[in-house]
Amino acid sequence: MSGKARYDAIVIGAGHNGMACAFYLARARRRVLVIEAADAAGGAARPVVFGDLQVPYAAHLDYGFSRGVASDMALDRHGLAWADRDIGASAFGIDDQQIDYALSSTDAPTAIGARDAAAWAPFRERMTRFASIIDDIAHRVPPRLAGAGADARAWLAIAWRLRRLGREDMREFLRIGAINMFDALEEHFEDPLLKGALAAEALIGHGLAPRSPNSVLTFFSRLSGTAAVAMPRGGMPALAAAMESACRSRQVAFRFGLGVRRIVVADDRAAGVELDDGQIIEAANVVSSADAWTTGVELIGAAHLDTGTVRRLRHVRGRGCAARVDLLLDDLSGLDRRLLGRRLIFSGDMDRLERAFNESKYGGVSADPLVELVFPTVIDPAQKTGARHLASALVQYVPRDANDNDIGTRTLDAARTVIERHLPGLFDRVTATRVTTPVDVERDTGIRGGHWHHAEIALDQFFMLRPAPTLSRYALPVPGAWLCGACTHPGGGITGLPGRHAAARIIEPGSSS
Ligand SMILES: Cc1cc2nc3c(=O)[nH]c(=O)nc-3n(C[C@H](O)[C@H](O)[C@H](O)COP(=O)(O)OP(=O)(O)OC[C@H]3O[C@@H](n4cnc5c(N)ncnc54)[C@H](O)[C@@H]3O)c2cc1C
């Protein structure tokens, strides 16, 4: 390679984590180039055309974008506005029961018994307090286990957060974290649908069922921050557009439509990238928002890694289970618009969720899946560019099965069965469908397994163990090569935090950058 590198950093992928990382690096006066294989920024939230609408590729809602990242990037000045910052939820079982609730609110859900209504505020208050510990951890770069100085101070701060819970809550935090959502909810509530809806909140995006270990951890993650679910005006692609604009205002350069096929290693350190057309671009650092396996083994190459690292990368668990079903609808006349402006959670009770998960465990598409349905053009009329409306459903559990050519059809049929139970005749208004299963996500984003979080969220893949032991601090064993995507701490969902943490590590004095 030639002398001085053209860029201080090349970021692979213009998903929100790649862009958050690029922004913070550029703010620290690094020359940054973002290379994205797709034609637009946003990763799983990038805009794609569906009929006469622009829809997000997969991610349709904001479950907790970091307020800190939004403020640092001044996203409001780059066009970000909100259609709804706290979308209410309605849960449905298999009969006519409907429970309206908001995880962000101390108001008890509707249509539940007096005992459950009285239990709501104390349950929510305590869980939110526990979730604030996870939120605190999510906002930290994982410290070294045996490090001194800043590392030791970080561990002390975490211990102090726990200690401040008080003896009784500290004991309960450790106890409840070790059980599962099924048992935790059985202890607090009676209503089967309420328990199903709360379990569903913990499970969305995760390959877990109510009785799975780690489901309380994912519930705490869901409750972190305000616990509100939001939609930007213009949908999730508008958030991506604002991030791209903020990056450009810091002189970050972008290249779209060509992928990186190899991270170039010279003299035992990352020295740039080779694009799909063979072009080589030099950089002192290469930061990848692709998953850990793809970055380490496919882009860097096993020959540059020790066998222990390759083994650890192989064992990172992340098989996708979430699919997106988009529906274009002729009209919504006669339907309750107030209801369509909410998140509709077709969860049923916890046993139904468990059975749905069981089918996918053995490779099948759940015939009676968990569905979260929103009508983006009702929540945000600005998204309605033509005559038609959009309904967007998250469907779980749909396994990643590359050999199953009918998986899209069966996913659509399963979603239809569940949705029509509560909104009969809705599919008669459908004029076009778009189905995205984990295999599609893997093909279209390069994320191995097509998993929502690029790697499952579980205690053994969390914080200083994410994505794998010894790889938790964003640096790969090849100096100058870094990870910044959802496979790193604190995981996926559109938050911007992994990208911000990775940048903090790269610009840290004494880093290998
Ligand atoms: C079906 C589904 C629905 C989801 N819905 C939501 C939701 O509603 N809300 C939410 O918050 N989260 C949702 N998620 C999760 C969310 O989309 C991810 O956690 C998030 O996108 C991760 O962001 P990222 O920037 O780390 O990676 P990604 O968004 O995956 O971006 C990675 C980018 O890197 C690019 N790339 C990869 N390899 C290369 C290469 N070699 N060269 C060039 N470019 C490359 C890809 O094209 C992609 O643009 C959903 C996920 C799925 C699968």
Average pLDDT, 10 consecutive residues per value, the chain (513 residues): 79 98 98 98 98 96 97 98 98 92 96 98 97 96 92 96 95 95 98 98 98 97 94 98 98 98 97 97 98 97 96 96 97 94 98 96 94 98 90 96 88 97 95 97 95 96 95 96 98 97 93 63
What integer pLDDT is reported at residue 513 of this predicted model? 57
The angle at the Cα of 438, spanning 433 to 439, to the nearest 5 degrees, equals 90
Whether residue 289 has its Cβ less than 6 Å from ligand 1: yes
Whether residue 495 has its Cβ less than 6 Å from ligand 1: no
How close is the Cα of 59 to the center of ligand 1, in Å? 8
User: C-alpha dihedral over 497, 498, 501, 503, to 10 degrees?
Assistant: -110
Instruction: For ligand 1, pick from 39, 236, 447, 466 the residue to mutate: most ligand atoms within 8 Å of CB.
Output: 447
Atom of ligand 1 nearest to the CA of 64: 11
What integer pLDDT is reported at residue 3 of this predicted model? 56
Element (H, E) at 146: none
Whether residue 63 has its Cβ less than 6 Å from ligand 1: yes
Tokens standing for residue 8 = 């201080």
Whether residue 480 has its Cβ less than 6 Å from ligand 1: no
Report the interhelical angle of 215-223 vs 167-178 (nearest 10°). Answer: 120
C-alpha–C-alpha distance, residues 239 and 231, integer Å: 9
Helix, strand, or coil (residue 33): strand
In this structure, how many other beta carbons lie within 10 angstroms of the beta carbon of residue 104?
19
C-alpha–C-alpha distance, residues 481 and 474, integer Å: 9
In this structure, how many other beta carbons lie within 10 angstroms of the beta carbon of residue 502?
30
C-alpha–C-alpha distance, residues 466 and 78, integer Å: 32
256-289: buried (b, 16+ CB within 10 Å) or exposed (e) per residue?
Answer: eeebbebbbbeeebbbbbebeeeeebbbbbbbbb
Domains (ranges, CATH) in the chain?
7-50+62-81+233-317+446-507 (3.50.50.60), 119-221 (no CATH), 321-399+401-436 (3.30.70)
Number of residues written out for the chain: 513
Distance from CA of residue 24 to its chain's centroid?
20
- Strands 53-56 and 47-50, bridge-based pairing: antiparallel
Q: Which residue carries 């790969």 as its tokens?
A: 476
Instruction: For ligand 1, pick from 10, 35, 36 the residue to mutate: most ligand atoms within 8 Å of CB.
Output: 36
> Could you tell me if 495 and 266 are in contact, meaning their C-beta atoms sit under 8 angstroms apart?
no
* Cα 28 to Cα 23, 32, 506, distances in angstroms: 9, 10, 10
Atom of ligand 1 nearest to the CA of 491: 19
- Strands 343-346 and 481-483, bridge-based pairing: unpaired
Q: Could you tell me which of 78, 70, 60, 93 has the C-alpha nearest to residue 229?
A: 60
C-alpha–C-alpha distance, residues 94 and 109, integer Å: 18
How close is the Cα of 446 to the center of ligand 1, in Å? 9
Please list the residues that pair with 435 across neighbouring strands.
325
Distance from CA of residue 500 to its chain's centroid?
15
Element (H, E) at 13: none
Instruction: For ligand 1, pick from 21, 224, 289, 407 the residue to mutate: most ligand atoms within 8 Å of CB.
Output: 289
C-alpha–C-alpha distance, residues 34 and 252, integer Å: 7
